[in-house]
Amino acid sequence: MKVALFLLALAALFGVAVAAGGAIGPEPSEQRPATHAGATQQHDEDASSGAAEHGGGHDAPPVRGLASAEGGLRVVVETPELALRRTQTLRFRVLDAHDEPLRSFGLTHERRMHAIVVRRDLTGFQHLHPRMAADGTWSVPLRIGTPGSYRLYADFSHDGEARTLASDLRVDGEADLRPLPAPTTHAVSDGGDVVRLDAGRPHAGEETTLRFAVAREDRPVALAPYLGAGGHLVALREGDLAFLHVHPVSGTLAGGRVTFAATFPDAGRHRLFLQYRVGAQVRTAAFTVEVAP
């Protein structure tokens, strides 16, 4: 009987302790971990909150130009081996999932195909506009002046979607690869103009405004429309040479100014190739931009 009364009193005391503990709640350091589903949800909320605090809430743009095949399409180059310092015809086709040549292309910047050629050290940039034959083969004259491994980007639109497929080109000879120039706010174009860049401090995942001003002898250079805008800009990521689409925002052509908007998906250095028109001549200026996390 004594043992039974002792156990009954002990149980009552335990119930009071549990009730008190539930009312007060455990210390933060003693809280139990959430269930797997709850922990995942909390992690996602924290990540979203952190991204919003740092301005990274924007959807990162798709990374293009890393492969020759994507989304049921692939690019095939007929002549990947090119001779040095000799004008040749570069030919390639875009094939569908049935290995049939694609012939339906939309207009992008006033062209149905943009062919970008650049060496893997991000030198030797060329922007070409091939023509398509009845059999779906694109062709354009190409002359490369320095040996090495090059990247060809076929940049186009199909079914209302922007596509960029890439393949390698090879030019025989000993390649003198160059380090990427340090970031700078000004560059001299191949036409002798001084081009200044105001990019602020770009961060990955945030929209960045890129403002260019073209001048000669401290006077603005009057620009002419090029590809339906004040200029054209290509951004390539150092290392894997990922291709980034950028969009012209505005421009004061008489004042030599043109502005673009870009969202860099990752941190690291990128090479920007600005093209603009002065009279009948298209000129190119290149910049290195460091994108912060």
Per-residue DSSP letter, 229: B
pTM, full prediction? 0.79
Chain centroid to CA 145: 27
Which one-letter amino acid corresponds to residue 36? H
What the chain holds in terms of domains, given with CATH numbers, is 69-171 (2.60.40.1930), 186-291 (2.60.40.10)
Question: What end-to-end distance do the CA atoms of the chain give, in Å?
Answer: 73
| Cα–Cα distances in angstroms (integers) from residue 105 to residues 111, 156, 226, 248, in the given order | 9, 7, 20, 21
Which tens digit of pLDDT belongs to each residue from 79-109? 899 999 999 999 999 999 999 999 999 999 9
Q: How confident is the model at residue 251 (pLDDT cuts 50, 70, 90)?
A: confident
Looking at 32-46, 104-118, 227-241, which range is the least confident one? 32-46
Q: What is the pLDDT of residue 23?
A: 37
Q: What is the pLDDT of residue 238?
A: 97
Which residues, including other chains, have CB under 8 Å from residue 62's CB and lie 6 or more apart? none
C-beta contacts of 91-96 below 8 A and 24+ residues apart: 91/137, 91/138, 91/139, 92/130, 92/137, 92/138, 92/152, 92/154, 92/167, 93/136, 93/137, 93/138, 94/136, 94/138, 94/154, 94/156, 94/165, 96/72
Q: What is the pLDDT of residue 247?
A: 84
Q: How confident is the model at residue 60 (pLDDT cuts 50, 70, 90)?
A: low
Residues 39-61, mean pLDDT to the nearest whole number: 37
